[in-house]
Amino acid sequence: MRHLTSLLVLLALDFVPAAAQSDINASILEFTEEFKMSSPTSGTDKVHKTITVFNEEGLSSAQFVVFTDSFRSLGSFGGEIVEPNGKKTKLSKKFLSNTSLSVGLADDYSVVHYTPVFNYPFTVTYDYSVEYHDGIVMFPPFMPLTEENVSLMSASYTLTVPRNTDISKYDKNLEYTFEFDAKKDTHKWTTGEVKPVIGEHLMKLDPKALPLLMAEPVDFSYGGTTGRQSDWKELGAWINSLGVKADDLPESEIAKVREMTADAKTEYETIHRLYTYLRDKTRYVSIQLGIGGYRTLPASHVVKTGFGDCKALSNYMKSLLKVAGIDSYYYVIHTDRKDFFGNLPNPGQMNHAMLAVPLKENGDTLFVECTNPAYPLGYRHSDCAGHEILLISEEGGQKVRVGGYPDSLSMKIREARIVLREDGSAGISIKDKRMLDYAESFVDFASLDPEKQVKYLVSDWLLQPENAKIEGISNNFNDYPIYGRNFIPEAEVDFSMDCRTYANKNGDRIFFPMNPLAKVIFSQRSARINRIYSEDAGTLIDRYSVVIPDGYKIESVPDNATIDTVWGTFTSLTEVDAADDHVLHITQILKGKPFDEDKSQYPSYKEFARKINKLYASKVVIVRK
């Protein structure tokens, strides 16, 4: 058995390039999956998987996780663990745990899981099946490699369906073959060696570059419903059918809506009042009920309980607007991916629901986040701006893209007044202003306790603040009517603090840094493996006024500097106040640029980071007169 263990580990190691072996956390030695569709509503998924885990970082690749609900249940389960000393442990269902994902509600959604804990390196093999019943809207997706620093030796996926079953598919980086006989069609996808994606700073993990398969029956039966998904319009029609008669507000709620909106002077004012009502009345709770989690709970449920998931809260808001005479459209979206995978309509491509409300007054469309009404009404937050969505109406589904914002509007501005004392300590007052996506982190800021507020603001500083105090919090989150479609969320926090070690004193001289509040720009020391990628094009502006102690004068300041590269631009300026030579003004501006460069350019990036970090840390010297 020692021989078998050694062979498995050696196979995994031989598969990985020698220069990269130290970066590999796990190796998938074998991954085979077979899904057999026995009828439009039932099928069996069988999986065989063997993984060698080299260290703790690779443990997630060896975890067993199966999601179950009223449509899926775990059938058989078995397996084996082989430890470094050759000891074998047989796995059975008694090793598994079952955890409800109901967040305190009684529903049918849970996860069956197991995490092996053994000395490294160990090899685990799983053999299991999942039974599908009461409907198949999509076949199990096949993504044999989903993590960085994990290698794959071979994988295959076999899909068997009744003869002439029409399927749609999206596949990447897999070899495809098709066979048939009198009773069945057999689709098979395979891949050989797939080298690991080595995780690095500033890289893009593109799922389209890895083996990936999504497939579905064009005509489907699911939870007692039937649908068709040959195009987005048909899929949208099915999703719309799940919400029919879900706008069942009780008469008391209808009367309340009419009373609340009776004297509203504009369409927007009506929407704003109902959005505020939603904010005050409801809370978000994940609920996986009704047609595999695709059907919304009715509006009456939200009225009765005060909570709902993204579907239920969006449907509830839609129902409120309908009473007020305002049309709105339910839509589904994937919050992590901006684009859907190919032209493959299926509900598995979405993980969130929101509401689109056309405004007749100014031709704008409000994209309403009903699960977190603390967001400004109509603000297209970072989980939806620029994303493809499926807009749902009675006519069916329409794939559209939510508009984004110019990168130039994304800014973080920090203005500080620093009163330097002769012993090197300082009193500091700061205005921290955020705009656009930077302001999103301040949406719930006011609800945090003061200690957490301060910790958030100073978490990446080099300074050690004392006696920190929040002086004021303000935002424009309710000012949408002023700005209309050009609305940009802004938030500002004013706070003050002391610092005992702002400067260093040496004899008659005091040395203090140009910018001890800035975050150091990271760059890796190891050789670059991947392309260098970033979408960040925000602007960070620091403006400081440093008041030096009486009896001192400025002896030297760093030279002004401007850096302009493909990575971004940086400006550093110092200026003595024209009216008071005891005040030094420091301005440093870093503006990112989106880039996608070859790995050979990483030395250039490192030099860019080094120069900026040096300017952040450079010293101003003052001397006793």
In tens, the pLDDT along 550-559 reads 999 999 999 9
The partner residues of 175 in beta bridges, in order of sequence, read 190
For 2-208, CATH number out of 2.60.40.3140, 1.20.1300.10, 2.30.30.40, 3.30.2020.30 equals 2.60.40.3140
Query: For residue 294, what are the contacts with CB-CB under 8 A and spacing of at least 6?
Result: 137, 239, 242, 311, 347
Per-residue pLDDT, 465: 87
| Topology classification of domain 407-624 | Jelly Rolls (2.60.120)
pLDDT at 2: 31
Please report which helix (H) or strand (E) contains residue 13, including its range.
helix 2-15
CATH 3.10.620.30 fits 232-401, yes or no: yes
What is the maximum span of the chain, computed from C-alpha positions, in angstroms? 99
SS3 276: helix
3-class state of residue 101 by DSSP: coil
Measured at the CA of 198, the angle between CA 197 and CA 202, to 5 degrees, comes to 105
Check whether the bond before 250 is cis (ω within 30° of 0): no
Q: State pLDDT tens for residues 356-398.
A: 999 887 778 889 999 887 888 888 999 999 999 999 999 999 9
Distance CA 411, CA 584 (A): 24
Whole-number pLDDT of residue 602: 97
Query: What is the pLDDT at residue 296?
Result: 86
C-alpha dist (Å) from residue 610 to 81, 517, 603, 605: 47, 17, 10, 9
Nearest C-alpha neighbor of 35 from the set 68, 91, 79, 75 = 75
pLDDT digits over 18-48, tens only?
Answer: 334 467 999 999 999 999 999 999 999 999 9
pLDDT confidence band for 483 (50 / 70 / 90) = low
**Nearest residue to 160 (alpha-carbon basis) of 45, 77, 32:** 45
Residues of the chain with CATH 2.60.40.3140: 2-208
pLDDT exceeds cutoff 70 at 108: no
Residue 14 confidence (pLDDT) above 90: no
Residue 116 banded pLDDT, cuts 50, 70, 90: very high
Q: Give this prediction's pTM.
A: 0.86
pLDDT at 9 over 70: no
The model's confidence at residue 181, banded by pLDDT at 50, 70 and 90, is very high
Six-digit token string for 24: 């590999």
What pLDDT, on the 0 to 100 scale, is given for residue 53? Answer: 97
Q: Has residue 533 got a pLDDT over 90? A: yes
CB 489 within 8 A of CB 376: yes
pLDDT at 16 over 50: no
Residues forming CATH 2.60.120.1130 domain(s) in the chain: 407-624
End-to-end, the C-alpha distance of the chain in Å comes to: 81
CATH 3.10.620.30 location in the chain: 232-401
149 phi, psi to nearest 5 deg: 60, 30
pLDDT at 292 over 90: no
- What stretch of H or E contains 254? helix 251-261
Distances (CA, A) of 476 to 272, 481, 483, 488: 14, 11, 10, 9
Using DSSP, state whether 226 is helix, strand or coil.
strand
Q: What is the pLDDT of residue 374?
A: 82
10-24, 537-551, 590-604: segment of lowest average pLDDT: 10-24
Q: How high is the pLDDT of residue 70?
A: 84
Of the CA atoms within 13 Å of residue 149, those in its CB half-sphere come to 16
Query: Which of 98-107, 125-134, 263-272 has the lowest average pLDDT?
Result: 98-107
Average pLDDT over residues 572-586: 95
Q: Are 312 and 297 in contact (CB under 8 A)?
A: yes
Q: How far apart are CA 124 and CA 129, in angstroms?
A: 17
**282-298: average pLDDT:** 69
**Percent of the chain residues topping a pLDDT of 90:** 73
Task: State which H helix or E strand residue 450 sits in.
Answer: helix 450-458
3-state secondary structure (DSSP) of residue 240: helix
Encoded tokens for 9: 């580990």
